[in-house]
Amino acid sequence: MAMHAHAQTGRLFRFLLKKEWLKLTIWLIGSLFFVFIGVFAFTEVYGDAAERQAMAIAMSNPAMEALFGRAIGLDNYTVGAMYSHTMTVMALSLFALLSILLVVRNTRAEEEDGILEMLRALPTGRLSHTISALLYLVLTNVLITVLSTALIFSIGDPSMTFEGALLTGMIYGTAGLFFGAVALLMAQLSSNGRGAMMLSFGILGVSYMLRIIGDSGTEVLSWISPLGLLYGTEPFVNNYWWPVLVALGITALIVILALYLQHRRDIGAGLLPEKAGKRHASALLKTTIGFALRLLKTPLIVWLIALLMLGVSYGSVINDVEGMLANNEIIEQIIMSNPDLNIVDQFISMIIGVLSIAATIPALQALLRLKGEEKKNRTEKIITGNRSRIKILGVFLGISLVTSIVMQLAQLVAFGGAMLAMDADLSFGSLFESGIAYLPAMWVMIGGAVVLIGWLPKFTGLIWAYLGFAFTVLYFADLFDMPEWLTGISPYYHIPEIPTDEWSWTVTLLSTGLAIVLAIVGLIGYQRRDING
C-alpha cells in the first residue's frame, strides 16, 4: 500500500512541467533580473571604497538594520558585503514568496478545483500529485541556486568570491525550499488554496517581524526566524554554512509531516475547522458603498500598512542622507535639480513625489476594481438591480478619492513621525503642504482612469503605463535631461516641490479642475456604453 502511494509520480511530474514551463521561465527570468540589478548596481555605482565606507556608516543605524538586517562586514565594506547586507533579506523574501505561490498553486488549489479528484480516480498514488509538486519545488530552487551562483560570480567584482556566490545561491534556494515546505504543510491545514496561501504568508510575515525585533536587540529571535537564520550565513563576509544545513534539516521534517498528514486525510478536507459564513447580509453590505468597501477592504488595509512602512523607512534614513550621498554623482544627479539648494530638502521633496505615486496605486486599484468586476461578469447583477450606473461608478470614484487622501496623509504622518523620532530638524507644516500639493495630480490620474472605464474599458491597463511613465519622469528627468514637452505629460511634474518651491494655487486649481472634467467625461461615457458583463 505505502509502495503504491507514489504510483505514476513521474508521469504526473512530466505533465506538471508541461503546464508550468512558461510560468517557471518567467519567474526565473524575473528573479535573475532582480539578482542581476542588485549586483550590477553595486559594482557600478559603489565601485569606490570610500563611497562604500560612507554608505556603511549610513546603513548602520537601527532603522536601516531593521529594514535590511544587522550590518555585516562594516570594517571592510566590500561590494560583496554590501550586496549581502542590503539585498539578502529582500531576495530571501522574494524566493520564499515564489515558492509559496508555486506549491499552493500545484497542490491545494488543484485539489480545491476538483482536478485532483480526476487524477486520484486514475491509478495514481495517494501522494503522487503532491510529490510531483515537491519535485517541481526542488527543481525550481535548484535552478535558482545554480543560476544565481553563476550570475553573481560572473558579473560580480573580485570581492564576490565563488564560495560567497555559491552560499548566496544556496540560501536563495533554501529559503524557497523552506517556505515551499511550509506552504505544503499549510495546504494540509486549510481546506482551500486561499487559506493555505494566507497562512503561509502569515508565517513569512512573522519570520520577517521576528528578524526585525531580533536585529534590533533580542538576537535570539533572529536565529529563530528562518529569514534571520539564513541571513546569518553572511556570504562574502564570513561564509557560515551551518545555517543552510539547519534550515534544510527542518525543511525535511516539515515535508515529512506534511506528507504524513496528506496520506491520512480525506480529499478536500483540511485539519483546521472552517468558520460558517454569515447567513444574512448586514445592512451595510446591502448599500452600494458597503458592498464596494467589502470588496476592497483587504487590499486597502494591506496597502495602508505597506505605505506606512514605506513612510517610516524613508523617514528614518533622513539624517544619513548626506553621508549616504557622499558625492555619489549618479544618485546626486537623480535627486538634485538645483545644486544651490539644500540637498536634504531636495531629497525630501523627491521622496514625497515617490510616495505620492505609490499612494496613487491603491486609489486607482479601488476604482479599477469596478472594471475587474465587469470582466468577471458580476457588474450586470448589480446594474440590473435598482442601482443606476452613475451611482455605482460614482461610489467607486468616491472611494478612490478618499483612498488617495487617506493614504497620502497616513504616509506623511509615518514619514514625518519617523523623521521626528530620528531628531531630524523639520517643519511638519511644510511636509504636509508638500504632500497635499500632490493630491490634485493624483486626482488627475483617477480622472484619467474614469475616462478609460467610461470610454475605453478594454484599455484601462493604460493608466498603469501612464503612472509608470510619471514615475520615470520623476526619477530620471534630471538624469537624462528629458525635454519639457515630454515631462509635462506627467501631472506630477507640474506640482511645486515644497519646501524648495512655493505652493501654487494656479497649479492646484487647474489640476483639480482637469480631474473634475475628466471624471465627468468618464461618467458620461459609462452611462452610454454597453456593459459587457
Partner 1 sequence: MTAVLEVNNVTKMFGKFQALNGVKFKLNKGEVLGFIGPNGAGKSTTIRILLGMLKADFGNAKIFGKDVWTDAVDIHKRIAYVPGDVNLWPNLTGGEVIDLFLSMRGVKVNKQRKENLMKRFEFDPTKKCRAYSKGNRQKVALISAFAADADLYILDEPTSGLDPLQERVFQECVQEVKEKGASVLLSSHILSEVERLCDQVAIIRQGSIVEAGSLEDLRHLTRIQINLRTREEASKLVEQDWVHDLTYENGTYIFQLDADHMDDLIRFIQPHGVVKLESAPAKLEDLFMRHYETTEGGV
Ligand X SMILES: Nc1ncnc2c1ncn2[C@@H]1O[C@H](COP(=O)(O)OP(=O)(O)O)[C@@H](O)[C@H]1O
Q: State the binding partner of 18 from ligand X, partner 1, none, CB within 5 to 8 A by kind.
A: partner 1
> Quick one: 269 or 284, whose CB is closer to ligand X?
269
Number of Cβ atoms within 10 Å of the Cβ of 3: 7
Element (H, E) at 111: helix 108-112
> Quick one: 41 or 269, whose CB is closer to ligand X?
269
Q: State the binding partner of 37 from partner 1, ligand X, none, CB within 5 to 8 A by kind.
A: none
Q: How far is the CB of 270 from ligand X (least distance, A)?
A: 9
513 scored as a contact of partner 1 (CB under 8 A):
no
Element (H, E) at 174: helix 162-189
Q: Please, which of residues 270-299 interact with partner 1 by CB under 8 A?
A: 273
> Quick one: 47 or 268, whose CB is closer to ligand X?
268
Q: How far is the CB of 254 from partner 1 (least distance, A)?
A: 24
Q: Please, which of residues 439-478 interact with partner 1 by CB under 8 A?
A: none
Report the residue from 73, 125, 232, 447 that binds partner 1 according to the rule CB under 8 A.
Answer: 125
Q: How far is the CB of 193 from partner 1 (least distance, A)?
A: 13
Q: Please, which of residues 90-119 interact with partner 1 by CB under 8 A?
A: 113-115, 117-119
Element (H, E) at 34: helix 9-45
> Quick one: 113 or 329, whose CB is closer to partner 1?
113
The DSSP 8-state label assigned to residue 122 in this structure reads S
114 scored as a contact of ligand X (CB under 6 A):
no
Please state, in angstroms and rounded to a whole number, the distance separating the CA atoms of residues 462 and 495: 22
Q: Binding residues for ligand X, how many (CB under 6 A)?
A: 2
Q: How far is the CB of 274 from ligand X (least distance, A)?
A: 9
Cβ within 8 Å of residue 461, ≥6 positions away: none
Q: Please, which of residues 12-31 interact with partner 1 by CB under 8 A?
A: 12, 15, 18-19, 22
φ/ψ bin of 519: left (φ > 0), alpha (ψ from -120 to 50), beta (otherwise): alpha
268 scored as a contact of ligand X (CB under 6 A):
yes
Report the residue from 52, 85, 126, 129 that binds partner 1 according to the rule CB under 8 A.
Answer: 126
> Quick one: 276 or 283, whose CB is closer to ligand X?
276
Q: How far is the CB of 263 from partner 1 (least distance, A)?
A: 11
What residue type is assigned to position 517 of the chain? V
Length of the chain (residues): 533
Contact 84, 164 (CB under 8 A): yes
Report the residue from 17, 53, 97, 120 that binds partner 1 according to the rule CB under 8 A.
Answer: 120
| Max intra-chain CA distance, the chain | 79
Q: How far is the CB of 189 from ligand X (least distance, A)?
A: 15
Please state, in angstroms and rounded to a whole number, the distance separating the CA atoms of residues 343 and 154: 36
Contact 141, 177 (CB under 8 A): yes
Please state, in angstroms and rounded to a whole number, the distance separating the CA atoms of residues 322 and 348: 12
Nearest to 66 by CA among 178, 236, 225: 225
Q: Dig out the grid coordinates for 149 from the structure.
A: 551562483
> Quick one: 130 or 191, whose CB is closer to ligand X?
191
Q: Dig out the grid coordinates for 447 from the structure.
A: 480622472
124 scored as a contact of partner 1 (CB under 8 A):
yes
Vertex 330, ends 328 and 331: CA angle to 5°? 70
123 scored as a contact of partner 1 (CB under 8 A):
yes
> Quick one: 30 or 268, whose CB is closer to ligand X?
268
Q: Please, which of residues 218-237 interact with partner 1 by CB under 8 A?
A: none
Residue 437: φ, ψ to 5°: -60, -30
Q: Dig out the grid coordinates for 234 from the structure.
A: 553572511
Please state, in angstroms and rounded to a whole number, the distance separating the CA atoms of residues 346 and 76: 31
Q: How far is the CB of 295 from partner 1 (least distance, A)?
A: 23
CA distance to 22, 124, 432, per residue, from 109 (Å): 19, 18, 45
> Quick one: 20 or 111, whose CB is closer to ligand X?
111
Please report which residue ranges of 317-386 form alpha helices under DSSP H.
321-325, 329-335, 343-375, 379-383
> Quick one: 266 or 484, whose CB is closer to partner 1?
266
Q: State the binding partner of 7 from ligand X, partner 1, none, CB within 5 to 8 A by kind.
A: partner 1
> Quick one: 249 or 268, whose CB is closer to ligand X?
268
Contacting positions for ligand X (CB under 6 A): 268-269
Contacting positions for partner 1 (CB under 8 A): 1, 4, 7-8, 11-12, 15, 18-19, 22, 113-115, 117-126, 266-268, 273
